[in-house]
């Protein structure tokens, strides 16, 4: 049988998964490979909006606990990668393709700059965060998405409403709440427009929303432990996060990169909070991408 596949092995939050799917769809088309995307079950209906021809496979329960970048960085990569390929073959690929030889696989851990085509039938990509993903995705056209499918997700605001993604990656860190309190107070004065707060953390939306008369909705949240952060992170459900991202595209959205520049005098006091100084938030990248590229019929 003559086949060539691009296998996306990594699943993360819904925003980065959408970005990863858009980028890898472009790579698969370039290399004339069929795309297989391993992901969480609840992400599949949303991801399918961006590539209906991709084969999505639900993660097994123990996938991320056994294999993740944190563990890979603590071990000898060659042995870890070999064990991981065997796991991928036995758990997922054998159900689709009749192949037992690991010589049919090539494993790549990295971003788009690390991906090259090869003779192996299955190019397995553990697509990780690169520093240029925002620039890469901005050059890729978005697929056409049916308005009827999105109808129940859209909330029609306009540029007279300011929207902000209130990131809280550690609910027990009260300095994050203190920081956002100062920021929203200033933003409310500077923009003098209604403010829409979106976040997976209902507590901070309620506190800021009631204090500064902001628009907000309580959403379904989930708590996951981050090996990298060393603490629990409260996030919105995949559906709510994507719905929030769509809603923000109809507003005057202020990404955190803009907040960093405009309110540097406040944020200089909070450099101990990792997301203040780290890479761009994936939610923000996705919203800005969809504002410029999303086509709805």
Same domain, 172 and 226: yes
Q: Pick from 140, 163, 197: which residue ends a domain?
A: 140
First to last CA, the chain: 38
Task: Answer whether residue 185 is part of any domain.
Answer: yes
Question: If you average pLDDT over residues 62-80, what whole number do you get?
Answer: 82
pLDDT at 228: 52
The CA distances from residue 232 to 169, 172, 227, in Å, are: 8, 9, 9
pLDDT at 1: 42
Confidence of residue 233 (pLDDT cuts 50, 70, 90): low
Tens digit of each residue's pLDDT (9 = 90 or more) over 121-150: 999 999 987 678 888 888 888 777 766 667
Same domain, 278 and 177: yes
Same domain, 269 and 183: yes
Task: Answer whether residue 87 is part of any domain.
Answer: yes
Task: Answer whether residue 291 is part of any domain.
Answer: yes
Average pLDDT along the chain: 87
- The C-alpha atoms of residue 190 and residue 193 are separated, in whole angstroms, by 9
Q: Pick from 77, 105, 140: which residue ends a domain?
A: 140
Tens digit of each residue's pLDDT (9 = 90 or more) over 238-254: 888 999 999 999 899 99
Same domain, 122 and 65: yes
Greater pLDDT, 128 or 31: 31
The CA distances from residue 205 to 212, 246, 283, in Å, are: 10, 18, 17
Greater pLDDT, 289 or 296: 289
Question: In this model, does residue 171 exceed pLDDT 50?
Answer: yes
CB 165 within 8 A of CB 248: yes
- The C-alpha atoms of residue 108 and residue 111 are separated, in whole angstroms, by 9
Same domain, 79 and 173: no
Task: Answer whether residue 174 is part of any domain.
Answer: yes
Question: In this model, does residue 61 exceed pLDDT 70?
Answer: yes
List, in order, residues 6 or more apart from 175 with CB less than 8 Å away: 270, 272, 273
% of the chain residues with pLDDT over 70:
89
Greater pLDDT, 285 or 2: 285
Question: In this model, does residue 58 exceed pLDDT 70?
Answer: yes
% of the chain residues with pLDDT over 90:
56
Task: Answer whether residue 82 is part of any domain.
Answer: yes
- The C-alpha atoms of residue 176 and residue 187 are separated, in whole angstroms, by 16
Task: Answer whether residue 56 is part of any domain.
Answer: yes
Same domain, 160 and 242: yes
Domain that holds residue 179: 150-296
Could you tell me the CATH number of the domain that includes residue 107? 3.40.50
Q: What is the largest CA-CA distance in the chain?
A: 65
Same domain, 32 and 76: yes
Same domain, 15 and 130: yes
Tens digit of each residue's pLDDT (9 = 90 or more) over 82-108: 999 999 999 999 878 777 788 889 999
Q: Pick from 140, 172, 199: which residue ends a domain?
A: 140
Same domain, 155 and 132: no
Task: Answer whether residue 145 is part of any domain.
Answer: no
The DSSP 8-state label assigned to residue 104 in this structure reads: G
- Residue 249 forms beta bridges with which residues? none
The CA distances from residue 288 to 76, 108, 109, 147, 159, in Å, are: 38, 28, 27, 19, 14
pTM listed for this prediction: 0.90
Same domain, 69 and 155: no
Task: Answer whether residue 101 is part of any domain.
Answer: yes
pLDDT at 101: 84
pLDDT at 148: 64
- The DSSP-derived string for 227-292 is TTTTEEEEEE-HHHHHHHHHHHTTSEE--HHHHHHHTHHHHGGGTTSHHHHSSPPHHHHHHHHHHH
Q: How many domains in the chain?
A: 2
Same domain, 284 and 237: yes
Tens digit of each residue's pLDDT (9 = 90 or more) over 256-270: 999 999 999 999 999
Same domain, 93 and 184: no
């Amino acid at each position: 049988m003559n086949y060539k596949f691009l296998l996306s092995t990594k699943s993360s939050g819904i925003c980065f998964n959408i970005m990863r799917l858009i980028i890898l769809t472009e790579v698969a088309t370039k290399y004339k490979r069929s795309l297989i995307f391993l992901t969480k079950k609840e992400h599949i209906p949303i991801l399918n909006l961006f590539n209906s021809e991709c084969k999505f496979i639900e993660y097994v329960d123990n996938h991320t606990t056994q294999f993740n970048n944190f563990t890979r960085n603590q071990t000898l990569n060659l042995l870890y990668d070999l064990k991981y390929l065997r796991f991928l073959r036995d758990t997922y690929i054998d159900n689709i393709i009749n192949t037992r030889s690991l010589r049919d696989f090539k494993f790549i851990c990295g971003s788009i700059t690390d991906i090259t085509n090869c003779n192996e039938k299955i190019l397995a990509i553990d697509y990780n965060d690169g520093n240029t993903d925002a620039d890469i995705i901005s050059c890729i056209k978005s697929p056409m998405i049916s308005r009827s499918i999105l109808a129940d997700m859209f909330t029609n605001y306009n540029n007279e409403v300011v929207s902000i993604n209130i990131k809280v990656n550690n609910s027990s860190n009260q300095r994050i709440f203190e920081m956002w309190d100062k920021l929203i107070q200033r933003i409310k004065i500077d923009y003098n427009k209604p403010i829409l707060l979106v976040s997976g953390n209902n507590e901070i939306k309620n506190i800021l929303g009631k204090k500064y008369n902001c628009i907000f909705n309580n959403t379904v949240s989930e708590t996951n432990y981050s090996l990298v952060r060393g603490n629990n992170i409260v996030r919105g459900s995949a559906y709510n996060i994507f719905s929030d991202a769509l809603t923000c595209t109809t507003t005057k959205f202020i990404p955190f990169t803009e907040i960093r520049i405009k309110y540097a005098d406040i944020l200089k006091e909070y450099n101990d909070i990792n997301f203040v100084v780290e890479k761009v938030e994936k939610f923000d990248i996705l919203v800005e991408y969809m504002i410029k590229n999303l086509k709805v019929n």
